[in-house]
Structure formats: C-alpha cells, structure tokens
Amino acid sequence: MVESYVFEQTWESERDRLASLEAVYDGPTRERLAALGVGEGWRCLEVGCGAGSVARWLAERVGGTGRVLAVDLDPRFALGVDVPGLEVRQHDLMADPLPEGAFDLVHARAVVEHIPERDEALRRLVAAARPGGWVVLEDFDVEGPMADAVARYWPSGSEELAGRLFRALEAAFTAAGVDAGYGRRLPEALASAGLVEVAARVHAPLLPGGTAFLGLTLRRLRPRLVGTGLLTDADLDATIELTERQGVMHVPNFMVTAWGRRVG
C-alpha cells in the first residue's frame, strides 16, 4: 500500500493537477516509449495511470491486436473513455497480484518514489515483464543540489526563493516517506534488479508563465511546504504568482526516465 503518497486524490482539483502533469511530462514519455519500439500487437502495463493519457496513447500504438492494462489505487480519473484494447483497473501494486512475464512493456511514472518498499515494488514490476520486455520507470529528483540546479533556470532575482521552494519540496516529501532523489537512483536500481541495456536521461522543461502544473502542485502541498519552516505563506503566494506571470519562464522538478530490458 502506498502510504507516503502526498497527493490525496479526493482533492477537488486533483484531476486538473494530474492533467497538468501529463501536459508537462507526456512528451518525453511518449518519445522514449516510441523509441523502444512500442507498436502493433504489444501488451503493455501502465502502473499509476493517473488521468490515463499515457494509457490511451499506448492503446492507440498497440492497435487492435495489442492490449493495455492500466492500474491505479484510484483509477476514477482514467475511467469513462472507451478505447479498444484498454482495460482500466483498481489495483494496489504492493497488495494485489500482477500477471508475471506477461507484458512487452511495463511503465510507471512518479509511482515508485512514493512506495516505502521500493525494492519490492521494483521486483514486482520487473516480474510482470516478459523475457525480452522493457521496464521504463520515471521519478523525480529534487534532492540536495538539485534545488539550486532548478533555481538557476528561474527568472533573475527569484533564484533564492526558487531554491528554498525546492528544498522545501524535498523536506516535505522526505517527511512523508517519499524518496525525493529516487530518480537519480533509478539506473542503479534497474541494473541491480537484473535488467540489461539500462540507460537513462534527465529532463526538465522550461515552462512559460501560466502553465498550471507547478501552481496546482504548490497549492495542494501548501500546508506541508509551510510546515517545513523553509517557506511562508507569502513566499508561496509569490512563487505561484511568478509561475502564472505571462512572459516569465520557470523549470519544475527534474524528471529521470530510466529503462532496461528483462533477460529471463
């Protein structure tokens, strides 16, 4: 059970937050999955499907002869869309079984970092891939020096505030049991799990003012962020206003995408 998930899905704007995350990060995800050859007839597992955009894209790629199983602790935001070959199911990765050796692709984004038993979660994901199949994991890295690395790409004069913001994010995530730097550890974790052809990339888009993702995230995490003592409510208001200002660009969390192939 994912006890450290910090984004309660009962929040009234959670669908919007998930959709905004997809808008920011789906492009690099689709690019990587396409590069691995996802296509007609593939069987794919999407874990933590959120609002379902990646699952729907996969279903279009695999066509009528393929299948996509999309699972989430709370899949309601991905339900209600009739896409051939796509099944959406409620599922707890740490409690419910998955078919073993069944999928050409296993993908999870911003999931494993939230699970305290990360090694076991990874073992289960790898076990679900068929021999020769791909496992692709994506998680954030907001640990340590990454706060200042992100802040370098914020508007001039706001670097100190941005640095405190991302240090507060790290502290809030860590307090909740999330591994705030798990993205950095993904390549080694995949190799240790027995995967081969392991590779990874780090990416963070430069977003124009008015992009909803970070503002919605900060509004949702306000009590946790202020509770770290690193930010005040006024600091958060100023940061959100900055992300919404037209003509101003900012960088959100760094995302690490890592992949490897199961050999047996």
Residue 40 has pLDDT above 80, yes or no: yes
pLDDT (tens digit per residue) in 56-84: 999 999 999 999 999 999 999 998 778 99
- For residues 7-30, give the mean pLDDT: 82
Give the per-residue pLDDT at 2.
Answer: 43
Give the per-residue pLDDT at 13.
Answer: 79
The pairing of beta strand 67-72 with beta strand 254-261 = unpaired
Under 8 Å between Cβ of 155 and 239: no
Under 8 Å between Cβ of 225 and 176: no
Residue 3 has pLDDT above 50, yes or no: no
- For residues 166-171, give the mean pLDDT: 97
Confidence class of residue 104 from pLDDT cuts 50, 70 and 90? very high
**CA–CA separation, 146 and 255 (whole Å):** 11
- For residues 159-165, give the mean pLDDT: 96
**CA quadruple 30, 36, 37, 40: dihedral sign:** negative
Measured N-to-C along each axis, helices 14-35 and 53-62 cross at an angle, to the nearest 10 degrees, of 30
- For residues 152-171, give the mean pLDDT: 96
Give every CB contact of residue 177 below 8 A, 6+ residues apart in sequence: 3, 4, 114, 116
Give the per-residue pLDDT at 14.
Answer: 87
Buried b vs exposed e over 206-223: b needs ≥16 C-beta within 10 Å? ebebebbbbbbbbebbee
> What one-character-per-residue DSSP string does 215-238 give?
HHHHHHHHHHHHHTTS--HHHHHH
Residue 4 has pLDDT above 90, yes or no: no
- For residues 239-249, give the mean pLDDT: 94
Q: What are phi and psi of 162, to 5 degrees?
A: -65, -40
- For residues 3-8, give the mean pLDDT: 49
Confidence class of residue 8 from pLDDT cuts 50, 70 and 90? low
Buried b vs exposed e over 145-158: b needs ≥16 C-beta within 10 Å? ebbebbbebbeeeb
pLDDT (tens digit per residue) in 174-201: 999 999 999 999 999 999 999 999 999 9
What is the amino acid identity at position 135?
V
Give the per-residue pLDDT at 222.
Answer: 96
Say whether domain 14-149+176-207+253-261 belongs to CATH 3.40.50.150. yes
**CA–CA separation, 230 and 63 (whole Å):** 49
**What is the residue extent of each domain of the chain?**
14-149+176-207+253-261
- For residues 243-255, give the mean pLDDT: 93
Under 8 Å between Cβ of 211 and 243: yes
Give the per-residue pLDDT at 264.
Answer: 77
- For residues 156-166, give the mean pLDDT: 96
**How many residues belong to the chain?**
264
Mean pLDDT, rounded, of the chain: 93
- For residues 98-112, give the mean pLDDT: 97
Give the per-residue pLDDT at 15.
Answer: 87
Confidence class of residue 149 from pLDDT cuts 50, 70 and 90? very high
Listed as own residue / partner, the contacts of 68-76 with beta carbons closer than 8 Å and 24 or more positions apart are 68/43, 68/44, 69/44, 69/45, 69/103, 70/46, 71/45, 71/46, 71/47, 72/47, 72/48, 73/2, 73/5, 73/9, 73/48, 74/9, 75/49, 76/9
Give the per-residue pLDDT at 198.
Answer: 98
pLDDT (tens digit per residue) in 190-230: 999 999 999 999 999 999 999 999 999 999 999 999 999 99
What does the CA dihedral 27, 33, 39, 44 come to, rounded to 10 degrees?
-110
Give the per-residue pLDDT at 9.
Answer: 52
Radius of gyration (C-alpha) of the chain in whole angstroms: 18
